[in-house]
Amino acid sequence: MIQPVPIRKNDLWFTEYQTDNMRLGLRVTSILKNIKTSYQQLLVVETEQYGKALILDGILMLADQYEFTYHEMMVHLLLCAHPQPKRVLVVGGGDGGCVREITKHDIVEEIFLVDIDEEVIKASKEFFPAVSIGFEDRRVNVFPMDALQFIKERHDSFDVIIVDSTDPVEFAVGLFEASFYCDVFRALRKEGMVIAQTESPFTNKELLSHTYRQIASVFPRADLCWGAMPVYPSGSWTYTIGSKGPDPHIVRRAPSGTTCYYSPEIHQAAFVLPPFVQELLKENAES
Amino acid sequence: MIQPVPIRKNDLWFTEYQTDNMRLGLRVTSILKNIKTSYQQLLVVETEQYGKALILDGILMLADQYEFTYHEMMVHLLLCAHPQPKRVLVVGGGDGGCVREITKHDIVEEIFLVDIDEEVIKASKEFFPAVSIGFEDRRVNVFPMDALQFIKERHDSFDVIIVDSTDPVEFAVGLFEASFYCDVFRALRKEGMVIAQTESPFTNKELLSHTYRQIASVFPRADLCWGAMPVYPSGSWTYTIGSKGPDPHIVRRAPSGTTCYYSPEIHQAAFVLPPFVQELLKENAES
């Protein structure tokens, strides 16, 4: 008797090259979208580990299961600390995760989102309804255009700016430079504050130091904070805050609705840096 | 003219299956040791990303560059909080990283390490001199034997016990059960405290809840704390403390010498849990 060949399951993996020497593999059950937009390769896959995932130019941007850690930190650290955050701008962030968190603050009157790639917004609305839900809020205005240009043209216009950028590749390189933060400074009102994602303290030390220095050279006050982000390289992520005045440690309000990662206590703990991260900022100050 | 075939570099990777659906790849430049001990497969490789790495049964235990985050947390959280940590026991931890950190506390009089696999200790002394250096301290006593047996035979003997176990596979399964923690309780003196690594809050939720519950069922006081650990799955790691009395939040002393991750402020921040982790402990209490 001939033994039948056993049926095998698909063994399909998405691989992210997090550095030249480290890669993350996630088992994929289906490929939901894979297109070349005007700006980048956009891939949406269903993963076993983290649910649906959005990948731009090979970099994992968003995964359903733990996007909250990143989006809650990017938004609530500033919106709970700014005295009067009436007008808020998100740079990048086309998935809508930051916008969703901003809508948890009743004090906010107008939300602006500027993302160069409209296809990201479309893909998020199609595949990540729990993330893109914020776009339904009547306070939201979307500008599909180059953020560098958008910011340059606005003066004294926003209370809070959230720089939810991709890694510094191609069109996003400018978002990590002092000239951009000079424009951000001008676009902010009195008491304005900016927060930017500044990558991992373990695998992106140079970029972290560099961007912190750029922000500290433009704003009278710069603070680094950090938190867990399991789907990004090394699992820890940093956020740099530039402020025209307000102390970001002071928690003035809470978001309405539930949060899974953020709390007033996490807000304080986020500013507690291990000695090796403090050293990164010092080395930097000396160079 | 025939074009010469270009010379290619080795493209050698170590792959850790962190879960069935997620894997980490690290580029390897050389394989330094690869043996089957009486208990497990022991592999030492040189990685480009994190330096030398120790791998037991396919699980990444230790990497030169960031072992400090884990070892500093495992040791200083308790040794800075216990009123009089004179006799300290490490369960597992054959690499010596915990022992090295314990030797930074002059108050400690005797250090005991019990690891079932003497080959781990030998490999660490050979390839990880900066980790195994603690073994040179005259206060250290090494017992190469089964920790479950060792603990069972000791009563009222230690002030602090540090459970630096592997994942709960084969011989290490017992280290995550209540019966083990009953023995630990008996082996501890009055005011005794234990700390155990309880895996990732993102990718090992069930084990975390389970082990926390076991410890909480045995000790009058149980506390969960957490920190960054970039080379372990998800990049965040939890530590569960059981105490016969002392409050682990109270910092009574500092380690001598430098620390890269631990500080008195990090000590406090380690107990600040995001809402989703607090939920894990609640669900657990109800089950």
CB contact under 8 A, B25 and A27: no
How many Å apart are CA B31 and CA B14, to the nearest integer? 10
Average pLDDT, chain A: 94
To 10 degrees, what angle do helices A275-286 and A205-218 make? Answer: 60
For the segment A152-203, what is each residue's pLDDT rounded down to a tens digit? Answer: 999 999 999 999 987 776 666 777 788 999 999 999 999 999 999 999 999 9
How many Å apart are CA B282 and CA B285, to the nearest integer? 5
Token code pair at residue B215: 């410890």
For the segment A31-68, what is each residue's pLDDT rounded down to a tens digit? Answer: 999 999 999 999 999 999 999 999 999 999 999 999 99
Give just the sign of the alpha carbon dihedral B80, B85, B86, B87: negative
- Expressed as residue numbers, the domain containing A243 is 67-286
Asked if the structure places residue B127 within a domain, the reply is yes
Pair B147, B218 in one domain? yes
A131: domain CATH number is 3.40.50.150
- Give the number of beta-carbon pairs within 8 Å between A and B: 118
How many Å apart are CA B45 and CA B63, to the nearest integer? 9
Cβ neighbours, 10 Å, residue B285: 11
Catalytic residue among B64, B164, B167, B183: B164
The residues in A 74-133 lying below 8 A from B, measured between CB atoms, are none
Catalytic residue among A95, A115, A164, A223: A164
A17: domain CATH number is 2.30.140.10
Q: Residue B262: what residue type?
A: Y
Residue count (chain B): 287
Instruction: Name which of A17, A224, A276 to mutate to probe chain B: the one with the most chain B Cβ atoms within 10 A of its Cβ.
Output: A276
CA distances from A41 to A56, A58, A91, B16 (A): 6, 8, 20, 28
ipTM over 0.90: yes
Instruction: Name which of A234, A249, A261 to mutate to probe chain B: the one with the most chain B Cβ atoms within 10 A of its Cβ.
Output: A234
| Overall average pLDDT of the A207-218 stretch | 93
Pair A35, A112 in one domain? no
Element (H, E) at B286: helix B275-286
CA distances from B196 to A164, A169, A264, B159, B167 (A): 37, 41, 28, 15, 11
Contacts of A274 in chain B (CB under 8 A): 69, 228, 260-263, 266
Pair B77, B188 in one domain? yes
Residue B21 CB partners (closer than 8 Å, separation 6+): A26, A27, A47, A48, A49
In angstroms, how far apart are the furthest CA atoms of chain B? 83
| Contact A258/B at CB under 8 A | yes
CB contact under 8 A, A236 and B235: yes
Q: Residue A171's pLDDT is what?
A: 66
Contacts of B272 in chain A (CB under 8 A): 263, 265-266, 268-269
Pair A187, A149 in one domain? yes
For the segment B124-146, what is each residue's pLDDT rounded down to a tens digit? Answer: 999 999 999 999 999 999 999 99
Q: Is B20 a catalytic residue?
A: no
In chain A, the residue whose alpha carbon lies closest to the alpha carbon of B226 is: A228
How many Å apart are CA B138 and CA B118, to the nearest integer? 19
Radius of gyration from C-alpha coordinates of chain B: 19
| Contact B265/A at CB under 8 A | yes
DSSP summary character for residue B91: E
Pair B141, B42 in one domain? no
Pair A129, A204 in one domain? yes
